[in-house]
Amino acid sequence: MGKTLYEKVWEAHTVRELPDGRTQLFIDLHLIHEVTSPQAFAMLKERGLKVRFPDRTFATVDHIVPTEDQREPFGDPLAQTMLSALRENVREHGITFFDLGSGRQGIVHVVGPEQGLTQPGFTIACGDSHTSTHGAFGAIAFGIGTTQVRDVLATQTVAVNKLKVRRINVHGRLQPGVYAKDVILHIIRRLGVKGGLGYAYEYGGEVIERMDMESRMTIANMSIEGGARVGYMNPDETTFEYLKGRPFAPRGEDWARAVTTWRSLASDPDASYDDVVDIQGEEIPPTVTWGVHPGQSAPIDGAVPDPIEFPEPERAAIEDALRYMKLKPGQPIKGVKVDVAFIGSCTNARLSDLREVAKYLKGHKVAPGVRALVVPGSQQVAKAAEEEGIAEVFIEAGFEWRSAGCSMCLAMNPDRLEGDELAISSSNRNYKGRQGSPQGRTVLASPIMVAAAAVAGEIADAREVFGIGGQHA
C-alpha cells in the first residue's frame, strides 16, 4: 500500500512518540511575526532558553503595519511597540528579519514562498492559522499558538497529533470568470466550516494540476476556514518552476537532487485516504458569502437563503447571520450595495491576482461613494506591479494603492470598516467584526468580483461587468 505525502513527511519529521501519545514533530521552517511572538520570546527568557536554530527561523512584520503612512514612529504607539519588540527579539537571537526597509517585507504567507523559504516536504509552523497556505508546495504547514511558538523557538519541535487525510479531487475545468477563490469557497460551502476537523486536506484533480502556484496558495490558504488545519497539493513541475532561482531555494548541484527528493514525496498512486471527495470543476460558480462565516455563501446569480426552509439549529444560525448582515431572506445576492472594496490579504494579494484584475479593470472607474483599496501582499509584489503598470491601472480606476501588509483583513492597523459599512473583500474571513468595526459587514469574493463590485457600486457578476467569457450586461 502506498503512502500519502502527509504520511511521508510526518514520518520523516517524527523525533519520537511522547509518553502521552502525541508526536514530537521536527519543524524545518519557523516563520514568526509581531503579533504572536513577543510573549513566546518572553517565556523563553523566563526559562533562560535561547532560540535553538536561528537559521530555521525567519521573521516579518505584517499585521500591525500601517499601509498608508509607514513613517516611524507610527501613529499608533501600540503598533510601534510591537514592531520594536520584534526588532529587539530578532537582534538578540540572530534571526533573519524582513523589516520594513528590507524590500522583502510583506504578509508572512506571501513572503515565505516568494523568498523560496517554503519548500516541498518541509514541515512549516507559524503563529498564524493561515500557515496552511504553504501546503501549496507539498509542505505540511500549520498554525500554532504562542506557547507552541515558544516550543518551536526552544526546541525546533512541537507536540502534535497526527491528522487523517481527505483527498479532494476537483475534476475537469473551471468556467471563465471562475477562480481559485471560488473553488475553495465552493469546497467550504459543500463540506462546511467544521468539515475539516481532524483532517488534512489533499487537493488534486485536473483543475488543481493545471493551476499556477499562486492559485494553489489561495486554496491551501483557506483550508483552515473549512476546519482543516493543514491543506496541501502534491509537488509537480509547476512547483519546481516557481521555486527555481528564488533567494532561499536550493541552487547548483543541490537543485537537481532537491527536485528528485521532492518528486518522491508526492502521494503514491495507490495511497489510501481516510476520505475522498469529488467535485466537478464545471459546476463551480463564482461564489460570494452572504453570512458571518465562510461556509455561508452562494453562487453570484443565487439568492440569500430563506431561514424558513431550514431545520433548527441551522435556521437560527441563518436568521442571526441575516440580521447581522442586514439582508432579507430570498433577496438576490446581486445588487447589494457595497461601501468598501478591498483587494488584499494572504489569500489574494499576489502578483497574479493583481495582474488578472488589472487586465479587466482598465478603462473602468470605481463607482461614486465606494472606498476601494488594493494592498499588495509584499513589497516585492508591490514593486513588480508598479513596474508592470498594474498599480497605475488601479489608481486610474480610483483604487487607493497601498504599501504591503495585512491591512483590512483583520484591522489591527488603521485600515478598517466604520459603523455598519459593507465591504466586498478578497480576504478569508467574514466573521462578525472581523474588519474592525463591531457592526462591519464582510462579503468574501475573488479579487475580480471585488473589482466588479467596486465598479458597479453593488455586488455584481464580474463576467457581466467585464465581459468575461463572452458575457455582457
Closer CB to other proteins, 226 or 285, in the complex: 226
Closer CB to other proteins, 49 or 473, in the complex: 49
CB of 452 to other proteins, least distance (A): 27
Closer CB to other proteins, 148 or 378, in the complex: 148
Q: Which one-letter amino acid corresponds to residue 116?
A: G
Q: Which three-class secondary structure state does DSSP give residue 193?
A: coil
Q: In terms of DSSP bridges, do strands 157-160 and 23-26 run parallel, antiparallel, or are they unpaired? A: antiparallel
Contact pick of 1, 46, 161, 269 for other proteins (by CB under 8 A): 161
Closer CB to other proteins, 100 or 111, in the complex: 111
H or E stretch at 199: strand 199-204
Closer CB to other proteins, 85 or 384, in the complex: 85
The x, y and z cell numbers of residue 320, run together, are 442571526
CB of 429 to other proteins, least distance (A): 6
Q: Is position 19 an interface residue for other proteins (rule: CB under 8 A)?
A: yes
Residues 6+ apart with CB under 8 A from 216: 136, 180, 203, 208, 233, 238
Compute the half-sphere exposure of residue 88: CA atoms within 13 Å on the CB side of its CA.
Answer: 10
* Site for other proteins, residues 364 to 403, rule: CB under 8 A: none
Contact 61, 34 (CB under 8 A): yes
Q: Is position 42 an interface residue for other proteins (rule: CB under 8 A)?
A: yes
How many residues sit close enough to other proteins to count as binding (CB under 8 A)?
Answer: 91
Phi, psi values for residue 439, rounded to 5°: -110, 5
Closer CB to other proteins, 354 or 423, in the complex: 423
**C-alpha 346: how far from chain center:** 4
* Site for other proteins, residues 275 to 334, rule: CB under 8 A: 293, 313, 317, 320
Contact pick of 204, 235, 250, 447 for other proteins (by CB under 8 A): 250
CB of 298 to other proteins, least distance (A): 18
* DSSP per position, 48-91: T---S-GGGEEEE--SS--SS--PSSPSSHHHHHHHHHHHHHHH
* Site for other proteins, residues 87 to 126, rule: CB under 8 A: 115-117, 119, 121-122
The x, y and z cell numbers of residue 456, run together, are 458597479
Distance CA 443, CA 291 (A): 8
* Site for other proteins, residues 430 to 459, rule: CB under 8 A: 431-434, 436, 438
Q: Is position 13 an interface residue for other proteins (rule: CB under 8 A)?
A: yes
Q: Is position 158 an interface residue for other proteins (rule: CB under 8 A)?
A: yes
Distance CA 473, CA 15 (A): 59
Residue 292 gets which letter from DSSP?
S
Interface mask toward other proteins for 46-85; x: CB under 8 A: -x----xx-xx-x----xx-----------x-xx-xx--x
Contact pick of 128, 202, 339, 353 for other proteins (by CB under 8 A): 128
> Which stretch in 145-153, 180-188, 332-340, 385-393 sits in contact with other proteins by CB under 8 A?
145-153
Distance CA 462, CA 469 (A): 10
Task: Please give the angle made by the CA atoms of 256, 261 and 262, to the nearest 5 degrees.
Answer: 95
CB of 182 to other proteins, least distance (A): 21
Distance CA 126, CA 122 (A): 13
Neighbouring CB atoms inside 10 A of 362's CB total: 15
Contact pick of 75, 94, 247, 469 for other proteins (by CB under 8 A): 247
> Which stretch in 267-275, 352-360, 364-372, 407-415 sits in contact with other proteins by CB under 8 A?
407-415
Contact pick of 322, 411, 444, 451 for other proteins (by CB under 8 A): 411
* Site for other proteins, residues 181 to 220, rule: CB under 8 A: 193-194, 197-198
> Which stretch in 225-233, 379-387, 394-402, 462-470 sits in contact with other proteins by CB under 8 A?
225-233
> Which stretch in 222-230, 266-274, 341-349, 381-389 sits in contact with other proteins by CB under 8 A?
222-230
CB of 165 to other proteins, least distance (A): 15
Closer CB to other proteins, 8 or 63, in the complex: 63
* DSSP per position, 372-424: EEE--SBHHHHHHHHHHTHHHHHHHHT-EE--SS-GGGTTSSS----TT-EEE
Contact 25, 157 (CB under 8 A): yes
Distance CA 406, CA 345 (A): 5
Residues 6+ apart with CB under 8 A from 291: 297, 318, 321, 322, 325, 430
Closer CB to other proteins, 264 or 280, in the complex: 264
CB of 63 to other proteins, least distance (A): 8
Indicate the burial class of 206 (C-beta count within 10 angstroms; 0-12, 13-18, 19 or more): middle
Closer CB to other proteins, 29 or 279, in the complex: 29
Closer CB to other proteins, 126 or 373, in the complex: 126
CB of 437 to other proteins, least distance (A): 9
Q: Is position 147 an interface residue for other proteins (rule: CB under 8 A)?
A: yes
Q: Is position 18 an interface residue for other proteins (rule: CB under 8 A)?
A: yes
